[in-house]
Every structure is written in structure tokens, then in C-alpha cells.
A and B are shown apart, each in its own frame.
Chain A
Amino acid sequence: MQKPGKTPKPAAAPLENPMIASDKVPANASGERLSEEQIWQLLEEVKDPEVPAVSVVELGVVRQLNWQDQQLVVDVTPTYSGCPATDLIEALIAEALMQGGIRNPQIKRVLTPAWTTDWITPAGREKLRQFGIAPPQGSASKMTLLGHDQQISCPHCGSKHTEQISEFGSTACKALYRCSSCLEPFDYFKCI
């Protein structure tokens, strides 16, 4: 209840999502707008929570940036329909943008066109390999998904003598393989 005779303090402009808003003073609190390049740099710092070796930009899930008046709209697409990291990735992107000084960014989930492993950047592929995950081989558009398995190189020793253990690995986007040369098991990022 408001005490009589006392005027309420003017409230600070509330952030849209107080749960993930940073307490830090935004880097560009002066109000100048970040360049598109600076925004992409902010997003490069957001890692895929399930494959922390790669950023959401390298993974190709951030599709587009648009300014609508004073609001930044970020188009984000999930890798798989049931990817359980989808909500978290969106929250992490919003958090990184707000920490970078962008007020009230809108994260828009888009399904079309459907995500494809072709969108994983060359740098992203190399990071996956260094992380121990064989990157997708070949192009999704040229792959006949019902056709024969591709020869997958072991990310540890480079051997081509590998065999599939399961169509699915630790997440829906990966399959489980084993190297017949160095005997190490590894995940393969499936081509879709």
C-alpha cells in the first residue's frame, strides 16, 4: 500500500526479463547503437551448452539480426525439433546481448528454412574436430539420407577405419562411432 501524501519514486526502466538481466551497467549505457559487427562479436561468445567448443554463430543457429525501431530482433533456429537446449540457447543469447548493452532484445524462433549442418562454419568444423567430435562430412543437400554411410575420419588419429556403433550419440545431432585404428570411441556430427 502506498502511504498517503508520499509520491512514488519514478521506477527505473524495467528490463524485459529480470531473471537473466545482468546487474552490470551496459557497456554502451550512453545509448549509442552497437554496429552489426559488434553484435556478431557478442554472439561469438555464446557457446552451445551441449557442445561448448563451438559458438552459436559457428553452429549456424543465429540466422539474422534486424533492428525494428529501437529493438533488436535476433532470428534463431533450433538444430533439431526436439533439441532440449533450444530454450537455453535463446536465453543465453538474450543474456549476452543485454550484458553487451542491448536493451530488451527479442529472440525470434524460426523453423524455416530448416537448419542444416551445411551452416556450420569452417572454423566451427575445425573446433568440433579438436573437441573430439567428427564434423559433418559432405553436403546435406547432396547426401541421400537413406543411402550408404559416408566414410567418417577419426577426429583423434585421422584414420578412416571407423565403424558406426549407433545411429544416435550423446545428443540427437550426433551418431556414435568407434575407430578401428586407435580404438577410441567418438561422436560424429550427422549431416542433415
Chain B
Amino acid sequence: MTQALTQQQTLHEYLLRLADSNLIISQRLCELCGKAPAVEEEMALMNVALDLVGQARNWYEYAADLDETKRDADTLAFRRDAHEYRNLLLTEQPNGDYAETMARQFYFDVWHYFTLQSLVNAPDERIAGIAAKALKEVTYHLRRSSAWVKRLGDGTEESHQRMEVAVESLWRFTGELITPDQIDTDLAAQGLAPNPEQLAEDWKGMVKEVLTEATLSLQADDAWMYLGSKKGVHTEHLGLILAEMQFLQRAYPDAKTW
């Protein structure tokens, strides 16, 4: 049995989930720097990644202020190992082809959009402020990724086929976006996290709407889902992402020794 968490620990944990998901999907997008399919797409992907890393910084800074071992934002981002990371499994999945990159972004953006929409009203000024700023940015992200799902889904035979494969293969990682644990429900009761039922309903509703318009198959609600990120159980990909992302900080702490 684990001991009950204090309010501060609960909030700290939730802030890390937000920060880690932003940081890891941002790191994934940045892997496309220099090799995106078109220069306009590359600019867009890098700007989305930039928005997300900026939001991650804001969440990490708040988490750092609540951190019992006084770790700062950089330490939280660059010195924790995979089992301490709380990012959604979806965000660590590889870029694959462009259909997979955009399907992953779409599933994430829908979750992100409705989560932030709720956090804007949180009775915590700092959370509400970060969320209000982020929501404007994420609204654009969602508009862009849903447009790509529709364009590829309702596009050529090949693009349709590829998007069909992408939305299906990533589906198994979407369960945890809308499966609450004790921390989610505790914070939701105080308005510090989205109401789980509402979030699930909103997420499913928008995903269904976009997939339908994109002429893609709707996925089964009762499909088997991977859960685990909230306990730090990740897919094999996260370790490799961290190996690359954290190398400099691990080899040259704070990059002070050259």
C-alpha cells in the first residue's frame, strides 16, 4: 500500500503529467527538424513544438515550486529517469509516416484542448493563467491537426489507407487520456483537473466527429488499452527519447563543464 499523498504532492504529480506530456511530444516533433515532408510543414511542426515546450516550462516551474526536494524546472526535465516520467504513452510513440505524426497530434490535441478549457476555470490563479495562455495556442494546434486528419483521410486512396492505419494503431494509447486515477478524481473534485466523465465525453465526441468527416473507421470503445504512464510504466520508446534529450545534462551537468 502506498501512503496517501498530501495536497501538495497530488498537485505536483498532476503538474508533472501536464509538463511531461508537453515536453515529450515536443521532443518527438523536433525529431522532424530538417526532414519534414515540406518546408511549410516543418515550420508548423517546429512552432507547435515550441509552443508546447514553452507550456511545459510554465508547468515545470510551478511543479518546481511545489517540489519537496527543491528540484528546479531543468532538473525535473533533464534529470529524471523514464520510470519517473508521467507523460501520456501516446506522446512518446514514434513519428512514423506523416499520417501517424498527425494522428498522434490530433488525439493529443483534442485531449489537450478540453483539458485546458477546464483548467482555465481552476480556482488556482497560476494554473488558470498558464492554461488560458496555452489554450489559445492549442486551439490552433487542434485546428491544424484535425485538418490534416481530414485531408489525408478523405484524400487519395493511399493517404486514406495510411491515415486509417495510423488512427487504428494509435488508438490503443488513447484509453489513458480519458481513464482517471485517484489523483485525477481528487483534483477534479476541487476543480483543479477536468471532470473525468466530461473530458471523456468531449474527447470521444470530437474524435468521432473528425474521423467521420475524414471518412475513417470509428474505433471500438471497448478495445484493449495500454495504461501505465500515470504510474511511470512506459513503452520502450521513452528511454531512447530521454537518452537523446538528456545526454548533455547527464554528461555535462548544467552544461558548465566543457
Contact = CB atoms under 8 A, between A and B. Distances in A.
Interface of A: 78, 80-84, 111-116, 145-146, 165-172, 176, 190, 192
A192 B52 CA distance: 16
5 contacts: A112-B133, A114-B132, A114-B136, A171-B47, A192-B136
A111 B130 contact: yes
A80 B143 CA distance: 17
Interface in B32-91: 40-41, 43-44, 46-48, 50-55, 57-58
Interface in B3-47: 40-41, 43-44, 46-47
Nearest to A169: B43
The DSSP consensus for interface residues of chain A is loop
A124 B142 CA distance: 29
B51 A82 contact: yes
A103 to B, nearest CB: 28
Given A146-B139, A166-B44, A172-B137, A80 B132 contact: no
B128 interface: yes
B140 to A, nearest CB: 6
Given A114-B136, A165-B40, A167-B144, A172 B129 contact: no
A166 B130 CA distance: 26
Given A111-B58, A166-B41, A170-B43, A80 B51 contact: yes
B125 interface: yes
Contacts of A176: 40, 43
B125 A82 contact: no
A168 B139 contact: no
Nearest to A144: B139
A84 B143 contact: no
Contacts of A172: 47, 50-51, 137
B193 interface: no
Given A80-B50, A192-B136, 19 more contacts: A80-B133, A81-B130, A81-B137, A82-B55, A111-B58, A112-B125, A112-B132, A112-B133, A113-B132, A114-B129, A145-B143, A146-B139, A166-B40, A166-B43, A167-B140, A168-B43, A168-B46, A169-B43, A172-B50
Nearest to A115: B133
A144 B140 CA distance: 11
B134 interface: yes
B38 to A, nearest CB: 9
Contacts of B130: 81, 111
Contacts of B47: 168, 171-172
Contacts of A81: 51, 54-55, 57-58, 130, 133-134, 137
A83 B54 contact: yes
A39 to B, nearest CB: 26
A114 B133 contact: yes
A146 B44 contact: no
